[in-house]
Amino acid sequence: MLMLNETNWTPASFILSGVPGLEDIHMWISFPFCSMYVVAMVGNCGLLYLIRYEDSLHRPMYYFLAMLSLTDIVMCSSTIPKALCIFWLHLKEISFNECLVQMFFVHTFTGMESGVLMLMALDRYVAICYPLRYSTILTNPVIAKRLPYCRGNVIPHTYCDHMSVAKLSCGNIKANAIYGLMVALLIGGFDILCITVSYTMILRAVVSLSSADARQKAFSTCTAHICAIVFSYSPAFFSFFSHRFGGHTIPPSCHIIVANVYLLLPPTMNPIVYGVKTKQIRDCVIRIVSGSKDIKSHDI
């Protein structure tokens, strides 16, 4: 007879329960998830296509944008298809190894997105504060810990979140909580520090410009990136800190919805924001749709 309190017991699979308490409306929840996923895939794949085949977009700013799009595609594709299988087909089982792989992709690529946003902030800082040196400065050329599991194998989530899996363990997960907190603060905190410093310097440089048109153009080039930062960090920080410090004051369904939104919102909004706010990308789309080759644009 298998003893569940045996310290070296590892389940062969987990059961993802979806959104506990909202099982009756799983089908309705799936529609906005599916719609956002389709928009994210079409928008980001479209951006990758444009940046790959348009010579005018072969510049550092757009290379960073391509990295952001690729990160977004992997990040939402690692969670949303499984969530839709739960909502539509009731396929809730996930193997132990698949769960580990999913956690790896989710946390690796969310960290990568934060790093790419930091690089994009530094890119805009150099472009605006040192425009004459921009082309010369920016040129074109997890420690694994196995935990004993003795609290069943049902994960109250739509994907394998690190802390959700750790809470099934009968071992001490304080190290996991501290590790997750330190990684988030070191990676996210450092990136936010660099972003803040970059935009502080940008603001000082823009305010010192004598021309109102030049100030307007400089602010416009940063608007899309600021929107991407807001879309990425707002739900991410709410999900992260509420999961660790919210206790029982926030319903589990709220945790799960926000956790999925923070994986879906940036991939959905980034191609829309950059496609609308970046004139060169907008002109490329218009040229492709209209079949014209006469549209030219200039960007910082």
48 Rama class: left (phi>0) / alpha (psi -120 to 50) / beta: alpha
CA distance 19 to 157: 6
pLDDT digit string (tens) for 194-226? 888 888 888 888 777 777 777 777 777 777 777
Domain encompassing residue 235: 16-138+197-289
SS3 28: helix
Burial classification of residue 45, based on how many CB atoms lie within 10 Å of its CB (0-12 exposed, 13-18 middle, 19 or more buried): middle
Is 31 domain-assigned?
A: yes
Q: What beta strand segments (E) does 160-276 contain?
A: none
Q: Residue 273 sits in a domain of what CATH number? A: 1.20.1070.10
CA distance 250 to 242: 8
Q: 168 or 8: which carries more pLDDT confidence?
A: 168
pLDDT digit string (tens) for 266-275? 888 888 777 7
Could you tell me the two tokens for 223?
């608007």
Average pLDDT over residues 237-254: 69
Is 107 domain-assigned?
A: yes
Task: Using alpha carbons only, give the angle 52, 299, 137 rounded to the nearest 5 degrees.
Answer: 80
pLDDT digit string (tens) for 115-148? 788 878 878 887 788 777 776 766 665 334 666 7
pLDDT at residue 37 greater than cutoff 80: yes
Total domain count for the chain?
1
β-pairing, 154-155 vs 13-16, is parallel
H or E, element range at 82: helix 80-89
Is 209 domain-assigned?
A: yes
Is 180 domain-assigned?
A: no
pLDDT at residue 109 greater than cutoff 80: yes
pLDDT at residue 246 greater than cutoff 70: no
Q: What does each C-alpha distance from 58 to 66, 71, 138 come to in angstroms?
A: 10, 19, 12
pLDDT at residue 88 greater than cutoff 80: yes
Is 4 domain-assigned?
A: no
Is 184 domain-assigned?
A: no
pLDDT at residue 253 greater than cutoff 50: yes
Is 7 domain-assigned?
A: no
CA distance 39 to 157: 23
pLDDT at residue 18 greater than cutoff 50: yes
Are the CB atoms for 277 and 219 separated by under 8 Å? Answer: no
pTM of the model: 0.61
Is 110 domain-assigned?
A: yes
